[in-house]
Structure formats: structure tokens, C-alpha cells
């Protein structure tokens, strides 16, 4: 099929809790099954030759959930990384993490670092996991970084422009997302990428994340291929 594909897909994986509650299960069961969906979608992105997949795994605001759920999620990240890293590496996936690591456990941080080191040279798919991430946090840390550079005389005030700002964001080495997907019927950005979504095509699915399939991703990709992207211009602008 000769369809226009996004280079970077960013997903808010919403609906795990409701999926579990609908079945009379504890909410955390939804997260457990959600990891299986992550695997399916990673495989599908590899097959479709998507360059970057960003997944919102834990937001700056998620710390306000019950401690037992936060603990479960943190353990799930450590376990899933340990279990899947070799297979991801074999498939040429480069793992990278976006977010504030300072509040994560020593164990999780070292697993993240090891996964990034092991897969750093891979080039089939960049799997970017947003963990303890918030779009507002990212913008504030970028502003602080630039302010420090001005203080240190490494950049002049006049040279602060959009490109310099983008380079200070946590996603500096990634292209901006072309397609944003949120599952579960909610139609919000919820403090995911804010700067980076300026011209991203938005797609909302009613499917809860544990039920999201490769076929649902294909639907989103097909919808994306029909969109006319104008970037503020009057006619569609070609993009790579």
C-alpha cells in the first residue's frame, strides 16, 4: 500500500483502569494487559517502518494515584524492561526515555540507563517512553537550561529562538510527532508533549488501551494518510 505514513507516532495509552473495572478486576490488571498491547503496537510500528514511537507511560500527575497503584506501575516498568529488552534489541529497537528521572527508584533508573546503552546504536525503531513526564515540566526545564547558558555566556539572549528552545527540550534528538493517538474516548492532551504537538495530527479512539490492536493502529494510520497538513500555509506542504 502506497500510503503516507507518519515518521513519529505519539500515544496516550488510556483506559487500562476502566478495562479492568469493566471485568470486575483490580485496576492494575489493566496495566498488566496494557503491556501486552505495547508489545503488539511496537511490532506493528516495526512492520510499518515507523521511525519513532512515543508512549506516555507515567505522567508527572500520576504520582497522585493511590500508592499501591504507583508502586505496581513502577514494578511493572522494571519487570517489563527486564523481560523484553533482549527481544527489542534483537529487533533493532532503540530505547530512550523522556522525563524527570530524579524521583524514580535507583533500580528503575539503572535499568533505563542499561537499556539505553544496550540499544543506543539500533535504527529500526526508536521507542521513546515518557516516564514521569509532563509537557509543562519539559518547557520549564528547557527555559532553565537556556537561562543557565545565558548566565554562562554560552548563548546570547538574542540567539534564543524556536530552534534553540527545541534543542533544550527532553526530546531534542527526535522529530516532532506527526500523529498523536489517545485511546479510551478521552479527547485531551493531558500535559503530554505541548511544544512538540504544535502541528501534529490528532486522532482519538474509543477503544480502551488493553483492547487496542494492530488493526486499530492501521485505522489511525489510514486516517492520517488522508489528512491534509498545511502548517499554516494555504496548500499542503510536502514533508519527509
Compute the distance between CA of residue 75 and CA of residue 69 in angstroms, rounded to an integer.
10
Secondary structure (DSSP) of 160-186: --HHHHHHHSTTTTSPPPSEEEE-TT-
Residue nearest ligand FPP, CB atom distance: 17
Q: Which of residues 35, 42, 88, 112 is near ligand FPP by CB under 6 A? A: 35
What are the contacts of 24-29 at 24+ separation with CB within 8 A? 27/69, 28/68, 28/69, 28/72, 28/73, 28/76
What is the CA 171 to chain-centroid distance, rounded?
10
Three-state DSSP class for residue 203 = strand
Cβ within 8 Å of residue 235, ≥6 positions away: none
| Footprint on residues 49-78 left by ligand FPP (CB under 6 A) | 55, 57, 62, 73, 76-77
- Torsion, Cα of 196, 216, 5, 8 (10° steps): 30
Q: Which is nearer to ligand FPP, 133 or 224 (CB)?
A: 133
What angle do helix axes 106-119 and 67-90 make, rounded to 10 degrees? 20
Q: Is 14 a catalytic residue?
A: yes
Phi, psi for 119 (deg, rounded to 5): -105, 5
Q: Which stretch binds ligand FPP (CB under 6 A): 14-22, 117-125, 140-148, 162-170?
A: 14-22
Nearest approach in angstroms of CB 61 to ligand FPP is 10
Kindly state the smallest distance separating residue 77's Cβ from ligand FPP, in Å. Answer: 5
Please tell me the count of residues contacting ligand FPP according to CB under 6 A: 20
130 binds ligand FPP (CB under 6 A): no
48 is catalytic: no
Query: Which one from 62, 122, 191, 211 is the annotated catalytic residue?
Result: 62
Using the rule CB under 6 A, is 104 a contact of ligand FPP?
A: no
17 sits near ligand FPP (criterion: CB under 6 A): yes
Active site residues: 14, 62
| Binding stretches for ligand FPP (CB under 6 A) | 13-18, 31, 34-35, 38, 55, 57, 62, 73, 76-77, 80, 129, 184, 209
Amino acid at each position: 500500500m502506497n500510503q503516507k505514513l507518519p515518521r513519529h507516532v505519539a500515544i496516550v495509552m488510556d483506559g487500562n483502569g476502566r478495562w479492568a473495572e469493566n471485568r470486575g478486576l483490580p485496576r492494575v490488571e489493566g496495566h498488566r494487559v496494557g503491556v501486552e498491547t505495547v508489545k503488539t503496537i511496537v511490532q506493528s510500528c516495526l512492520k510499518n517502518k515507523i521511525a519513532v514511537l512515543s508512549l506516555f507511560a507515567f505522567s508527572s500527575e500520576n504520582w497522585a494515584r493511590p500508592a499501591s497503584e504507583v508502586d505496581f506501575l513502577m514494578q511493572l516498568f522494571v519487570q517489563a524492561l527486564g523481560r523484553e529488552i533482549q527481544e527489542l534489541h534483537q529487533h533493532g529497537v532503540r530505547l530512550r526515555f523522556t522525563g524527570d528521572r530524579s524521583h524514580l527508584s535507583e533500580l528503575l533508573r539503572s535499568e533505563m540507563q542499561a537499556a539505553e546503552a544496550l540499544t543506543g546504536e539500533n535504527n529500526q525503531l526508536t521507542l521513546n517512553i515518557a516516564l514521569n513526564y509532563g509537557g509543562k515540566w519539559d518547557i520549564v526545564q528547557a527555559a532553565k537550561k537556556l537561562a543557565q547558558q545565558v548566565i554562562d555566556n554560552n548563548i546570547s539572549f538574542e540567539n534564543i529562538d524556536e530552534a534553540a528552545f527545541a534543542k533544550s527540550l527532553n526530546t531534542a534528538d527526535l522529530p516532532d510527532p506527526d500523529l498523536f493517538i489517545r485511546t479510551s474516548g478521552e479527547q485531551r492532551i493531558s500535559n503530554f508533549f505541548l511544544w512538540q504537538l504544535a502541528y501534529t495530527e490528532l486522532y482519538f479512539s474509543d477503544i480502551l488501551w488493553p483492547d487496542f490492536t494492530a488493526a486499530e493502529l492501521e485505522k489511525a494510520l489510514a486516517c492520517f494518510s488522508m489528512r491534509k497538513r498545511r502548517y499554516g500555509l494555504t496548500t499542503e506542504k510536502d514533508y519527509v
